Chains A and B, each alone.
Chain A
């Protein structure tokens, strides 16, 4: 017991002020970054986008529970794509890079619910529904982001 306490004391006596600066700096940068997406997270109309290779493959309205937009190149980027509208939930199945994944839209939220990717990170993200939230399947290179429909998000004009 005594040697245990001694050992602990030794570790903490060796800690220096710079350690707290390093830790504090990480938290300060985190707090600064946190405030950036928080600025535009209050919207009423909500939809999500499925993005891969810098292209919005589809947009889906979470309030109306209907797809708003499907890209023409979805067939080139995804290996398979299908949509099944059920009574309580809509299931969109996709596959890319030999990874199958399913987007389940339910109660105004969307989630990656099943996938054969090795790390299962996308599943653990759970259901998302707030503007600014993300769900990612990195092995497939696909991510889903929630957007708020507001005047601020719509560009007045598009160049090019």
Chain B
């Protein structure tokens, strides 16, 4: 679960978190419902996460309005999922 702003200011911390939880398979979904703002740094982190975890797919679920806006601007809506189990 990510919440609040997800921008270049939070990117380093989020990156550390993703790296720590990506390898062990505990990270299966990322809940974006509480993200109030996302920028390119956040976006590329999510993209890299999805790309890297191709064997055990990570799903981006429950996008907030601001996340949805960015993804639809870049015509990548198909990466978002409305529902999904919440993060473990």
Do A and B truly interact?
no
Residues on B close to A: CB < 8 A? Answer: none
